[in-house]
């Protein structure tokens, strides 16, 4: 029996990406990172790559997310 992995909901174009840490599925406020994943927040791909960030994903990665 093949188990299906739950897809992660991920915003295509968040209104204020700088207010959230995008480093894990907790999406903590930038000043309240609960995962302890370093001292700086992880940026949303739109901040690093630009509006067409989704086009840079592999087909495998696209299957893991649902854009909202």
Residue 41, domain member (yes or no): yes
Residue 40, domain member (yes or no): yes
Residue 1, domain member (yes or no): no
Q: Residue 29 pLDDT more than 70?
A: yes
Partner residues linked to 12 by β-bridges = none
**CA trace torsion 31, 35, 36, 39 (10° rounding):** -40
Do residues 51 and 13 make contact, with C-beta atoms less than 8 angstroms apart? Answer: yes
Task: Output the average pLDDT for the chain.
Answer: 88
Query: What residues make up the domain containing 22?
Result: 8-67
pLDDT of residue 40: 84
Do residues 44 and 14 make contact, with C-beta atoms less than 8 angstroms apart? Answer: yes
Q: How many domains does the chain have?
A: 1
Closest CA to 23 of 47, 40, 5, 6: 40
Q: Summarize pLDDT for 41-58 with one digit per residue, the tens.
A: 899 999 999 999 999 999
């Amino acid at each position: 029996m093949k188990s299906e992995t739950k897809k992660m909901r991920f915003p295509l174009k968040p209104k204020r990406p700088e207010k959230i840490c995008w480093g894990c599925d907790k999406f903590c406020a930038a000043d309240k990172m609960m995962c302890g994943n370093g001292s700086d927040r992880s940026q949303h791909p739109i901040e690093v790559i630009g509006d067409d960030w989704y086009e840079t994903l592999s087909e495998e990665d696209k299957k893991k997310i649902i854009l909202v």
